[in-house]
Amino acid sequence: EYFDGVTNIFLDDLLRYEVAKKEWKQILTAPRPPARCAHSCVSYKQCLYVFGGELETADQYHHYRDLWKFDTNTLKWTEIAAKNPPSARSGHVAFVWKNFMVLFGGFFEALRETKWYNDVSVFNLQTETWMDVPQSRLATKPEPRSACNLAAFGSDKVVIHGGFSKMKSVNSSSETKVHSDAWVLHLAPLLQQKPPTWERWMSS
């Protein structure tokens, strides 16, 4: 995304840096993902996986829920039409653990509705399917947020820290909330087809 002083410009280009030649080259292939920003991108076995994102212009504000794979060997994009993807969103975080792509959080905005998420979605990169790993509504977990930090912790955990959201106040206006808490997400249950579990690490 680029703001030229008048309007937002969204890009759909892909660039490759050749280390030996010390130069950038643009990769132009079709089909390819539509222009967007605030999406996630992870790497697994010489492929890049892009999910979600947003497009904001004077005419529309759109959130994506599509999943694309870019093969770094063939330099071609493929859209993965797997069933039951997460809801449309942007500002989420994603990472790869073993053969799983794990997504957390993000937000969705429409003309009359804005939502922040705290759900966890899991994509099996070997079978290219979204896993059914519903979490109990009674489970302890982070508040909904977008734009949080993420870091690997040990061999089977990640730490989620911070983030941003807006909360409705008593007079129905929205109040910005900057999160400063930290949570550990335990990933080992995924190996038994079970949801990962949360542990609070640091309070706000």
Name the token pair of 108: 């969705």
What percent of the chain lies above the pLDDT cut of 70?
97
pLDDT top residue among 59 and 2? 2
Q: Which residues pair with 3 in a beta bridge?
A: 8
Mean pLDDT of the chain: 93
Please state whether beta strands 76-79 and 67-71 pair in parallel, antiparallel, or not at all (unpaired): antiparallel
pLDDT at residue 96, rounded to an integer: 98
User: Does 123 score more than 70 pLDDT?
Assistant: yes
What's the pLDDT band for 169 if we cut at 50, 70, 90? low
pTM above the 0.85 mark?
yes
Strands (E), 32-99: 40-44, 47-51, 54-56, 61-63, 67-71, 76-79, 93-97
User: Does 118 score more than 80 pLDDT?
Assistant: yes
User: Does 35 score more than 70 pLDDT?
Assistant: yes
User: Does 4 score more than 70 pLDDT?
Assistant: yes
Q: Give the contacts of 115 (CB within 8 A, at least 6 positions apart).
A: 107, 108, 109, 144
